[in-house]
Amino acid sequence: MRTELRVLDPSIWDDWYGKLVLAFGGVPEAPEESALWRELTECERSIGAWDGTDIVGTAGLFSFRLSVPGGGIVPAAGVTMVSVQATHRRRGVLRAMMRRQLDDIRAAGDEPLAVLTASEPDIYGRFGYGAATQNAYAEIDTTQVRLTVPEGAGDVRLRAVPLESAVEACEAVYARRVRTRPGMLERIPGWERVPLLDPPGDREGASPLRCVLAESGGEVSGYVRFAVKPDWDLAGPKGTVVLRDLEARDPASYAALWRFLFDLDLTSVIRTGSRPVDDPWQLLVSDIRRCALRLRDSLFVRLVDVGAALEARAYTTPVETVLEVTDPFCPWNEGRWRLSGDAKGASCERTDDAADLRLGVRDLGAAYLGGVPLTALAGAGRVQEARQGALTEATTAFATPVAPWLPHGF
């Protein structure tokens, strides 16, 4: 079998996207959902794999801007809409598309990183992508768990507003949060609508999304978007609050929004969407054991240009180390790199000096945002220390004060 990779012609988007939907089970999406993804698709950065007249593979890229340690924003290629038809699996189609994407990203020279979320986490490691962030999910029993809020939460004004009319205010809060936590995406035009997607067929008995704003000092200081799924038994109401997203600029507004969710009438459970693993609500509750907390991998990071990527972030403590990187899929990254950096910035250049640490590009991607300690990777045998003390030094420098987090998928 020989397949041909072609750039996506916008006129055949429906067929191309239909093959993607088919590969993921074939259940049609709601019209508003597919319409939004059509609008967001960058056709010039999307490809199809063709076998004769048939599309047998799809892959796309989004032009993202990603927050990195130190508060910087770095261009990143968001790998998306990747699929291979069942008739053509294990024939090199995925590998060919991954090869084409990374070659194109490197040739353009604008994005030192590629990022993705994976339907199956073991697929992309062989192409150099490392799991760099985790999301936390919870089901909080609000009949048994109490919430303690900090001083000032009672002074925060809460106001219910129509979902669409609150978008500008919510986005202003979100934009101020992006640089405070690695792994968040700047919302380029159109992406503010992604968190609002709410097809009736996906609600599973819950209400349409609702929005409440927090206001402090006369300004919007936070927001929460949620739905309520009613339920009753012989003992009475036991509805579920379905939390979509919650952001706030200060602890009082944050706690006031959480207290609002805890106090909603006729409910007994809060089921969260993805939250940071260090989300402060975990320290406001009286009994974390009754919150059914669980973790899942989220953002995978791939360094397309090792030197440029390591220079693009800052480091918590001063670091001076030589990294020997292996990267068989992108051999231009192979070799030794001298990283010199601190909280103000960094430089990373090729060197012939002896290595201090040895690791693969996948593991460098996992550690890049500060969420996976190099010491943990070393404990798994995936990082080797060549100079005594280098592992501790680098681990401390790569660490971040807050856990990296991807707020929504793509």
- The encoded tokens of residue 36 equal 């939004």
Tell me which residue of 314, 293, 298, 303 sits closest to 370, measured CA to CA.
314
CB 31, CB 83: distance < 8 Å: no
Q: Which residues contact 125 (CB under 8 A, 6 or more apart)?
A: 362
- The encoded tokens of residue 40 equal 């967001």
CB 123, CB 90: distance < 8 Å: no
CB 394, CB 335: distance < 8 Å: no
Q: How many angstroms separate the CA atoms of 345 and 303, rounded?
A: 18
| Annotated binding residue 83 | yes
Q: Pairing mode, if any, of strands 54-68 and 47-51?
A: antiparallel
Helix axes 13-23, 31-40, angle to 10 degrees: 120
| Annotated binding residue 146 | no
**Amino acid letter, residue 393:** E
- The encoded tokens of residue 394 equal 């680098």
| Annotated binding residue 90 | yes
Among positive and negative, which fits the CA dihedral 189, 280, 197, 213? Answer: negative
Q: How many angstroms separate the CA atoms of 17 and 280, rounded?
A: 39
**Amino acid letter, residue 224:** V
| Annotated binding residue 82 | yes
Q: Which residues contact 271 (CB under 8 A, 6 or more apart)?
A: 138, 139, 140, 240, 241, 242, 243
| Annotated binding residue 11 | no
DSSP labels, 28-89: PPPHHHHHHHHHH--GGG-EEEEETTEEEEEEEEEEEEEEETTTEEEEEEEEEEEEE-GGGT
| Annotated binding residue 95 | yes
Tell me which residue of 174, 114, 23 sits closest to 330, measured CA to CA.
114
Q: How many angstroms separate the CA atoms of 408 and 215, rounded?
A: 24
| Annotated binding residue 91 | yes
| Annotated binding residue 320 | no
CB 398, CB 315: distance < 8 Å: yes
Catalytic residue ranges: 124, 410
| Annotated binding residue 93 | yes
| Neighbour count for residue 123 (Cβ, 10 Å) | 15
Binding-site residues for acetyl-CoA, in ranges, read 82-84, 90-95, 119-120
Binding residues: 82-84, 90-95, 119-120
